[in-house]
A and B are shown apart, each in its own frame.
Chain A
Amino acid sequence: MKIEQAPPKLDRRTFIKNVLTGSITGSLLLIYPMGGGDALDMLQPATIPDIPVQIPGIRGETYEIHERKFAFIVDITQCIGCGSCCVADKREYKVPDGYYRTWVERYIKDFNDQVYVDCPNGGLDGYQTPRTDIEVQVRDTFFVPKLCNMCKETPCTQVCPVGATFTSPDGFVLMDSDRCVGCGYCIQACPYSSRFLNPITHTAEKCTWCYHRVRKGLLPACVEVCPTGARKFGSLRDETSEVYKILKGPGVLTVLKESMGTWPALYYLGARLEVI
């Protein structure tokens, strides 16, 4: 039996319609591969590491992303400038030499109230010897770890022209390196110089407070290795956490460059006037 097939419609109107539909669909496909699937995967980590829980209430529970609230506190009085945090961070992210997601500064004050600050190699080697380039009578010295301030009013997120840097509903300021064009505007906008342009990927990079670890119930790498507990991280929804007790307690906490109006979520305990 002969099967009758309708002849294809080849009039001009159909042709233009097909070309337009094809172009629009093609363009949308070009625009749309944003890796939405990966983000969904992150909601329920497929592999839970065989490491004991460090942040309670995350592993094995539904991660209500809009309900979570975390805080990071740096206790300057506890930091000994060993540089372990910097080493852990460099290993966690393979940070290229000369660039820093986190670093530790050394402050020296003399008897004339002069302040001398240095940070050789970002503090990665630890401060094992005194400064030899200045000859002053040291009255006081202390170390200041620095990292992303996870601002509420984020200048970096505001200026990113393509939306590659964004704030997640649980407050983390993150980078999508697959979307970043490497313009460097976020680097200029960050008042804390927490960002850099990775010379290998040519995209902007920053500290994430180890979001990938937090989502698995693990502490940020720098917090985990800190031998003195100078770096503290935890959930503010957990009233037994150390950060909750400090933040809700009577102690004096400060943030960096408050006048910038960025509302950091990184708090400093015992930060001196000289710390900028």
Chain B
Amino acid sequence: MSGFHEGAAMLLSNFVLPNDLHVHWSMMIVLYPYITGLVDGAFIIAALYYLFDIESLKPVARFSLLFALAFLCCATIPLLLHLGRPERNFNMLLTPNPSSAMAGFGYIYAVSMGVLGFIVIFVYRADLVKLKHRSRGMIKLIYRVLTFDCDDLSPRAMALDDRIIKILVGLGIPVAAVLHGYVGFIFGGVKANPTWSTPLMPVIFLFSACVSGISAIVLAYIVIRKLTGSSMDGPCIITCIKTLTGFFILAFSFEMLEVFSHSYLKSGYHHMVEGLLNGPLAASFWLWQVKICSGIPLVILGLMAFIRLPQPRYNLLAAGVSAILLLQVFIMRWNVVIGGQLMSKSARGYTVFHPPWIDKEGILTVIVVMIIPFVILFILGKIFPFWIEDPRLD
């Protein structure tokens, strides 16, 4: 030991405040931002086509909307599973506390759901009218409800539809950005936790949301088309991957900027943040999130950008890189949500967390919650054809 300050700040006893031994926000709070992130990213793909007229995204634009809708339907499930008293959840809507960041969730969620629902109905209206005439019984009734029993497909009506879609998608972009950026702010607004308390948090959440959502669309498109033996649209996948590359570079840069800021500014408790990243989170942050799940995709995306590859090989790499990036975002959510809570507010130690398999917030529940959106997507697919060349529309 030498110098003036040994031991005064760096404290060795690994002391965790007695109430900090419990990790109160566990797997479901990891899952919730992951799901809203998927919604956001998928919506971005649809917005690029419907609002910004990027024609090459046409094959996946409608599917992206349904994908976003299926996941948005499930966004509240993790939250309800997490709440200690889920039966009181309506208190958040009925008697919200205006000073709380969390109190806005119900309203933001409801607006997102409404906007997305209407976008889907208007985008599909022409097809739904066609399908209504060809169906009978219960399914016909569903189509009648979804089309509001209006058969008007005149050019004037369709032009109006297009205008409404543009307005709704235009409205949907800020709503989607708020939905997810806001989730980031819920963490960023906790000044008691030095790993969360940064204005970068909403930005990081937003860009990583775009990464996960676009990756999910690319992977789902390739897998579904492969399984159903249908052809894949090369230019569409290329545009998706280029968009994904842009968003991933931004997301990764901001993730690293946050770590760099902590380490360079050396503000209060920075020794705890550094200790966290190099200690309990060394494997999940540096190895998995940064080296494996960010380093490898950056190389692959670079290859895909600079080397001309045959389309089947390009598609294979696209599916692979998307899968890794989906994992990257999930690990990032874990590192933020769980990692942030491993650090005791004693500034002297770290607690541990091992997710249980069977619990209302356990690993099995995570798996079940992640299956539900796909079931909803399957059911939605029976009503709304995923693809433009669906035989039901011939």
Within B75-110, the residues touching A (CB, 8 Å) are: 82-86, 88-89, 91-92, 94-97, 99-103, 105
Cα A138 to Cα B385 in complex, Å, equals 75
Stretch in A36-44, A181-189, A220-228 with 4+ CB within 8 Å of B: A181-189
Q: Is A218 an interface residue (CB 8 A)?
A: no
A185: nearest chain-B partner, CB-CB? B102
Asked if A112 and B7 sit within 8 Å, CB to CB, the answer is yes
CB of B87 to closest CB in A, whole Å:
9
Q: List 5 A-B contacts (CB under 8 A).
A: A159-B99, A161-B102, A184-B82, A188-B193, A191-B191
Q: Is A141 an interface residue (CB 8 A)?
A: no
Given A158-B100, A164-B91, 14 other A-B contacts at CB below 8 A? Answer: A98-B21, A112-B6, A114-B12, A116-B12, A159-B101, A161-B102, A181-B83, A182-B83, A191-B191, A191-B345, A193-B344, A201-B84, A202-B85, A274-B11
Residues on B facing A (Cβ under 8 Å): 1, 6-8, 11-13, 15, 17-22, 24-25, 82-86, 88-89, 91-92, 94-97, 99-103, 105, 186, 189-193, 268, 341, 344-348
A198: nearest chain-B partner, CB-CB? B84
Q: Could you say which residues of chain A place their CB within 8 Å of the CB of B6?
A: 112-114
Asked if A162 and B95 sit within 8 Å, CB to CB, the answer is yes
Q: Could you say which residues of chain B place their CB within 8 Å of the CB of A88?
A: none
Asked if B19 and A196 sit within 8 Å, CB to CB, the answer is yes
- Over the window 20-59 of chain A, the binary record of Cβ atoms lying under 8 Å from chain B Cβ atoms (1 yes, 0 no) is 0000000000110000000000000000000000000000
Cα A192 to Cα B6 in complex, Å, equals 25
Asked if B84 and A202 sit within 8 Å, CB to CB, the answer is yes
Asked if B25 and A188 sit within 8 Å, CB to CB, the answer is yes
Within A168-219, the residues touching B (CB, 8 Å) are: 179-185, 187-197, 201-204
Known: A159-B189, A191-B191, A260-B191. A119 touches B96 (CB 8 A): no
Chain A's interface size range is 35 or more
Asked if B92 and A189 sit within 8 Å, CB to CB, the answer is no
Q: Could you say which residues of chain B place their CB within 8 Å of the CB of A116?
A: 12-13, 15
Asked if A160 and B97 sit within 8 Å, CB to CB, the answer is yes
Asked if B102 and A117 sit within 8 Å, CB to CB, the answer is no
In order of increasing CB-CB distance, the 6 nearest A-B pairs are A182-B84, A202-B84, A117-B15, A191-B192, A113-B7, A161-B102
CB of B273 to closest CB in A, whole Å:
15
B106: nearest chain-A partner, CB-CB? A161
Known: A158-B99, A187-B24. A31 touches B191 (CB 8 A): no
Q: Could you say which residues of chain B place their CB within 8 Å of the CB of A3?
A: none
Asked if B82 and A183 sit within 8 Å, CB to CB, the answer is yes
Q: Could you say which residues of chain B place their CB within 8 Å of the CB of A229?
A: none
CB of A267 to closest CB in B, whole Å:
19
Interchain CB contact (< 8 A) of B92 among A30, A157, A181, A259: A181
Q: Could you say which residues of chain B place their CB within 8 Å of the CB of A126?
A: none
B193: nearest chain-A partner, CB-CB? A188
Asked if B100 and A185 sit within 8 Å, CB to CB, the answer is yes
Main secondary structure of the interface of A (DSSP, over half): loop
Asked if A181 and B88 sit within 8 Å, CB to CB, the answer is yes
Asked if B22 and A100 sit within 8 Å, CB to CB, the answer is no
Q: Is A60 an interface residue (CB 8 A)?
A: no
Asked if A115 and B13 sit within 8 Å, CB to CB, the answer is yes
Asked if B192 and A190 sit within 8 Å, CB to CB, the answer is yes
Q: Could you say which residues of chain B place their CB within 8 Å of the CB of A118?
A: 13, 15
Asked if A31 and B25 sit within 8 Å, CB to CB, the answer is no
Q: Is A70 an interface residue (CB 8 A)?
A: no
B187: nearest chain-A partner, CB-CB? A188
Asked if B7 and A114 sit within 8 Å, CB to CB, the answer is yes
Asked if A197 and B12 sit within 8 Å, CB to CB, the answer is no
Asked if B19 and A99 sit within 8 Å, CB to CB, the answer is yes
B12: nearest chain-A partner, CB-CB? A114
Asked if A161 and B103 sit within 8 Å, CB to CB, the answer is yes
Known: A117-B15, A119-B18. A188 touches B83 (CB 8 A): no
CB of B13 to closest CB in A, whole Å:
4
Q: Is A1 an interface residue (CB 8 A)?
A: no
B8: nearest chain-A partner, CB-CB? A113
Cα A98 to Cα B25 in complex, Å, equals 17
Q: Is A103 an interface residue (CB 8 A)?
A: yes
Cα A116 to Cα B355 in complex, Å, equals 29
Cα A195 to Cα B100 in complex, Å, equals 17
A113: nearest chain-B partner, CB-CB? B7
Cα A30 to Cα B302 in complex, Å, equals 58
